[in-house]
Structure 1
Amino acid sequence: MALRDRKREILDAAAPIFGEEGYERASIDAIATRAGVSKPTVYSHFGGKEQLFRESVADSAQQQNEASLSAISQLDCSGDDWREGLYRLGLALADFSLSPCSVFLDRLITAEIGRDPEIFDMVQNRAVRPMHEALAGRLAMLGNAGRLQVADPVKAARQFVVLVNAELPGLTALGTLRITAETFETSVRDGVDTFLRAYAH
């Protein structure tokens, strides 16, 4: 088996165990058993439990982020319906942020970041920044087309993501309550409207 495949199997085995048990109670033995590898194999790939946890969280965030990157790539910056495209993108990004996996991952990071601050940087580098950069590229295209005034596309991208999600933590009690589709859409559209008031020509 290729080394990459084995590392992938270990990460796939580690994610649910860290999720179910938390960092402290999760054991390398359990992860190795679920992955079908020996305990020394886990150590040879990740060095120890702490690095495996960091890699597992960052990997899970990266996988969650793939749907966001796909939605961003579909934003049409050349057509006349670019505003509606931004609304659709805002709805998609907000919907991904409320997925059970995303909500659970956020809680896991929040619970462990005090113990291991490096988790934040790993997640930012592997998942959050690539998403912001992809969105910044699309917003820059809208700027070049004369649709938006964007002096700093990366900052604008960060603000777009924050604004479309701004009301959702309160409305959903941090992802624990269901809200109606109408409430969800209104909240997200309000966020996009705020963004457009700041950036649109």
Structure 2
Amino acid sequence: MTPAAAPRTTPENAPTGRPGKRAAIDCAARTVFGREGYSRASVDAIAAEAGVSKRTIYNHHQDKEHLFRAVVQQSSQAVAEHQEELIDRHLGDPGTDLAAALTALGHALAVPQTDFESHFALVRVIFAEAPYLPPHVLESWRGTGPGRVRARLAERLGGLVKAGVLRDRVAPETLALQFTQLVTSEVYERSFHGALPLAEDETTALVESGVAAFLALHGPAS
């Protein structure tokens, strides 16, 4: 049975003491950055949201850039762990109905993940302000988030190739890239990464169409 998700930390329910202040600061930073963007967000606004002094923030983080990178990395890791669990759950058994498993996984990855709303607000900031963000911040997000998830997907799809469930036509990394492009990318694009969630039937149609295209390319020969 999947363990229940831990309650989300907010400035109001964060524990007290130094670790509690750090949690409150990081939570407030996600909120403010997600709401105002990187360029417009100020350390003063984050301090007010967290209920701490500006100096307290600087005691934990060197500057705004380091704070943004830290909260992006934290939330990316949490989302990556969740999505890796979804991949393992749906693709862990080569004997299952492949089309059904891929469709279930695509839907699980594509629909808005409400436990991580603040993270996807940060993702929208990254896409909107990418030209103005330090390159190492972008690489940190890519490595700890999408890159990590795609690596797990490649691992599982490679296992399906070895089991003879998928055809051995391209490298596992390419399989993972094509699955993402065909099955989930259009949902992300149309919903603006969850900002404007799609109707259930539209999401289902996009996912099923993408899975059909993926299997036409890589499914077992009939």
Letter in 1 for 2:160: L
Relative to structure 1, is the Cα distance of residues 169 and 85 closer, same or farther in structure 2, using a 3 angstrom cutoff? closer
Identify which range, 121-130 or 95-104, moves more after superposition: 95-104
1:113 matched residue in structure 2: 130
Which TM-score applies when normalising by structure 2? 0.76
**Pairs within 5 Å for 1:49-88:** 49-75=64-90, 76-88=92-104
- For residue 154 of structure 1, report the CA deviation from its aligned partner: 1.9
**TM-score where L is the length of structure 1:** 0.83
Cα deviation, residue 132, structure 1: 0.7
Give RMSD over aligned pairs. 2.8
Measured after TM superposition, the shift of residue 59 of structure 1 is 2.5
Q: Once the two structures are superposed, what CA deviation does each residue of 1:164-192 show, in whole Å capped at 9, x if it has no partner?
A: 12433565476555543222111111111
Query: How many residue pairs are counted as aligned between the two chains?
Result: 201
Distance 2:45 2:197 in 1: 34
Q: Given the alignment, which residue of 126, 142, 151 partners 2:160? A: 142
Change (3 A) 1:34 1:177: closer
Counterpart amino acid of residue 153 in structure 1: P
The whole-number CA distance in structure 1 between the counterparts of 2:36 and 2:118 is: 15
User: Which residue does the alignment assign to 1:27?
Assistant: 42
Q: Does structure 2 conserve the Cα–Cα contact (< 8 Å) formed by 1:67 and 1:96? A: no
* Cα distance change, pair 35–177 in 1 and its aligned pair in 2 (3 A): closer
Worse-matched range after superposition: 54-63 or 67-76 = 54-63
1:57–1:109 Cα contact (<8 Å) kept: no
- Paired residue for 2:174? 155
1:93 and 1:161 in contact (8 A); partners too:
no
Amino acid at match of 2:147: R
- The amino acid that maps onto 1:154 is E
AA at the equivalent of 2:95 = G
Pair 103,45 (structure 1): closer, same or farther in 2 beyond 3 Å: closer
Q: Is the 8 Å Cα contact of residues 14 and 31 (structure 1) preserved in structure 2?
A: yes
Residue 73 to residue 173, structure 1, CA distance change in 2 (3 Å): closer
TM-superposed CA distance for 1:101, in Å, is 4.5
2:124 and 2:192 in contact (8 A); partners too:
no
